[in-house]
Amino acid sequence: MKKILTVGLALVFCCLMGCSSCGASEKYAEMKVGDNGRLQVLIWEDVWQGLFTSHGFGGYIHNMYYWSTLSGDGPVYVNPKLNKNGLRSEQYEHRGTITVDQKDKKLIIDLQRIVSKAGEPERLEPSPANGTYRIKKINHDPFLKPE
């Protein structure tokens, strides 16, 4: 009986602790609407960390990875700049498109990042942001900088 109780408590403890590598995650888009038809799209990910972590109470953490300010006539935006969030934000020039499908609440990113230096022949690599994302929220909050 004592062995069953110990195993049961261990299972409950493991379920409550969770871990970032085994937690469920969801990447999605948020869209900010500005003046003059400008949009800013942000790529987020929610990750379940477990109820308790080594830093205290866990739950979901929200990470923002990329954002882009889109101008012009949509729904397809050509060669946008894409900002990568991190300790220092980085902005990259891209070739390709970002498509905003407001009717079906989808954001489709299909970009090639320019990795060549100035003066070199243009070299491209697929953007790590490529994919189709569900637009989870549309709001009128202030835009992130740099736009």
Measured CA to CA, the distance from residue 105 to residue 31 in angstroms comes to: 10
> 22-76: per-residue pLDDT in tens?
556 778 999 999 887 789 999 988 777 677 666 666 676 667 788 899 988 889 9
> 42-54: per-residue pLDDT in tens?
998 877 767 766 6
How far is CA 40 from each of CA 19, 70, 95, 119, rounded to the nearest angstrom?
Answer: 32, 6, 18, 31
Sequence ranges of the domains in the chain: 2-139
Percent of residues, the chain, with pLDDT higher than 70: 72
Indicate if the pLDDT at residue 12 is higher than 70.
no
Rg of the chain (C-alpha set): 20
Measured CA to CA, the distance from residue 50 to residue 44 in angstroms comes to: 19
- Residue 122's contacts (CB-CB under 8 Å, 6 or more residues apart) are 114, 116
Backbone angles phi, psi at 2, to 5 degrees: -65, -35
Structural contact between residues 19 and 50, judged by C-beta atoms closer than 8 angstroms: yes
Q: Is pLDDT larger for residue 128 or for residue 134?
A: 134
Indicate if the pLDDT at residue 112 is higher than 50.
yes
- Residue 43's contacts (CB-CB under 8 Å, 6 or more residues apart) are 27, 28, 29, 64, 65, 66, 67, 107, 109, 129, 133
